[in-house]
Amino acid sequence: MAKIRVLTVDDSALMRQVLAALLSRDPDIEVIGSAPDPFLAREKIKALNPDVITLDVEMPKMDGLTFLEKLMKGHPMPVLMVSSLTEAGCQTTLRALELGAVDFITKPKLDLREGMEEVAQDLIAKVKAAACAKVRGTGSAKRCLSQSPLSEGGQRLSEGGQAPAQKREPVPSAMIKTTDTIIAIGSSTGGTEAVKEVLMALPPNTPPILITQHMPERFTKTWADHMNSLCRISVKEAEDGDSVLPGHALVAPGSYHMTLVRSGARYTVRINQDPPVNRHRPSVDVMFASVAQYAGANAVGVILTGMGGDGAKEMLTMKQAGAFTIAQDEASCVVFGMPKEAIKMGGVDKILPLSEIPAAIVAYVSKL
């Protein structure tokens, strides 16, 4: 395949230089240009037609959010946001993801060159993921290699690895019978919006939910608080020792693993900074493994959009322990990495479009 062609948009000449140097290390990426503001960026996008753009949040003449919104309406394309770790930066970045940005990298506050060196591997991986992500408004990935159809329990899936369409069920608000089922959700690229769609559709008496979304520290609290303002269930960033309760969702804090533990009939979570797993902390595999161990058959595992394979191995462990497992289908994923790996390993009971996952969760736990 031809190289991934990247345009960098940032008002800092040093940042543009650093981004170009880091991205150019990868033989599959070519930085074809840069722009110091959205107005010049617009002209270069027209002239160069890049595969991916990196976009700063705070810029002169027009802020990154305004430009992103205009871009996604008029010329949808993969965008990787460059964000600060300030509280305002977290809120702005989450808004950018709502507007259609694929993902983001964090800009260091001090020592730009050294700080960006620390995230160079992540930067390159996210540019590659963005290049083959489904962008809102385009309906398909721009540069992904074709995927061979997968099978589910011997059943051949439709083109694109998608399960045959099933009738969509409404999500009921009636009382859910079980009180001890644990719902564990893992996601990465595109997951902030995917998880939001699932949580917003769930009734307030849904069984307890644990969520691991690949996200840096400080971003998880801002995101959890935002989810809490939108959903009928309560959502918060997890703290060590938090009780796992019906109608509540706990989000693994950035830079910390979250695990389920059980004492008698009481579930709680533990938070730790053990080494990263699959290059991630928090790791979906770490959470799924603990749910398999302590909840066993009294669990539902859900793996959503994301690059890589985090969660696939331990979703199989969950299924082997008797849990009911669901993977988001390729057609509705931003990046069909994590669900695809879980399906390939045989750890998935159902493959569903994102819109059908909440009803499937409620239908399953209501029967218990």
- Residue 147 is assigned to a structural domain of this protein: no
Evaluate the CA torsion angle 243, 244, 245, 248 in order and state its sign.
positive
Same domain, 113 and 180: no
Same domain, 89 and 189: no
- Residue 142 is assigned to a structural domain of this protein: no
- Residue 143 is assigned to a structural domain of this protein: no
State which of 98, 131, 164 marks the end of a domain: 131
Are 138 and 79 in contact by the 8 Å Cβ rule? The answer is: no
Q: State residue 137's pLDDT score.
A: 58
Q: State residue 167's pLDDT score.
A: 36
- Residue 137 is assigned to a structural domain of this protein: no
Domain that holds residue 258: 156-367
Same domain, 319 and 191: yes
Over residues 139-180, the pLDDT tens digits come to 444 555 333 333 333 333 333 333 333 333 444 433 343 447
Q: State residue 64's pLDDT score.
A: 85
Backbone angles phi, psi at 306, to 5 degrees: 165, 150
Same domain, 125 and 236: no
Q: State residue 333's pLDDT score.
A: 97
Q: State residue 174's pLDDT score.
A: 38
Residue in the block written with tokens 């930066």: 89
- How is residue 16 written in tokens? 């543009």
- Residue 149 is assigned to a structural domain of this protein: no
Q: What total of structural domains would you count in the chain?
A: 2
Q: State residue 111's pLDDT score.
A: 78
Q: State residue 158's pLDDT score.
A: 35
- Residue 136 is assigned to a structural domain of this protein: no
pTM for this predicted structure: 0.87
Give the number of C-alpha atoms closer than 13 A to the C-alpha of residue 198, restricted to the C-beta side: 33
Question: If we measure between CA atoms, which residue out of 207, 195, 226, 197 comes closest to residue 303?
Answer: 195
Q: State residue 150's pLDDT score.
A: 34
Q: State residue 2's pLDDT score.
A: 87
Same domain, 354 and 264: yes
Q: State residue 310's pLDDT score.
A: 98
Q: State residue 89's pLDDT score.
A: 79
Same domain, 182 and 96: no
Same domain, 240 and 342: yes
Q: State residue 298's pLDDT score.
A: 95
User: What residues contact 75, with CB distance under 8 A and at least 6 apart?
Assistant: 45
Same domain, 117 and 182: no
State which of 114, 131, 148 marks the end of a domain: 131
Measured CA to CA, the distance from residue 308 to residue 16 in angstroms comes to 27
Residues annotated catalytic, as ranges: 188, 214, 310
Same domain, 180 and 124: no
Same domain, 306 and 179: yes
- Residue 91 is assigned to a structural domain of this protein: yes
| CATH code, domain carrying 202 | 3.40.50.180
- Residue 151 is assigned to a structural domain of this protein: no
Same domain, 179 and 122: no
State which of 131, 165, 190 marks the end of a domain: 131
Q: State residue 112's pLDDT score.
A: 80
Residues of the chain where predicted confidence (pLDDT) is lower than 50: 139-141, 145-179
Same domain, 322 and 234: yes
